[in-house]
Amino acid sequence: MAKPEKVLFVCVENAGRSQMAEGFLRKFAPHLDVISAGTKPRSQLIPTVIDVMKEVGIDITEQKPKELTNEMISQSITVNMGCMDKESCPALFVNDVIDWNISDPKDKDIEKIREIRDQIKNEVLNLIKKIEEQ
């Protein structure tokens, strides 16, 4: 089986979880192509998300929220971070999706965002392992 060309992390606003996942994958598997996107992207990342990623040595300040496209989906392994907004949930638009069901960091305190960050890190490391085993 051929290794995937791209990994796509999706959530509604593309301002927190999916951006953290993108940052972790870039760090731990730089040989993989990664992108994140959302169905209703915000204008910028959640500032506290940027801060907690810096705590673990990952700078995501240059990453920007992007709108999810069919082209992104068709060329990628797609991971849905979780959905709080059922009407805009990216999983509704993707047939073959991995769903992690991770809490949205929006409006959470820094300790909760750190927990979310660490959960995402573990999921990304497990995903990399599965991809490498293919």
Catalytic residues: 11, 83
Q: How far apart are CA 97 and CA 64, in angstroms?
A: 22
Intra-chain end-to-end CA distance of the chain, in Å? 6
Token digits of residue 131: 């991809």
Burial of 44-62, coded b for 16+ CB within 10 Å and e otherwise, reads ebbebbbebbeeeebebee
- List CB contacts of 69: < 8 A, sequence separation 6 or more: 37
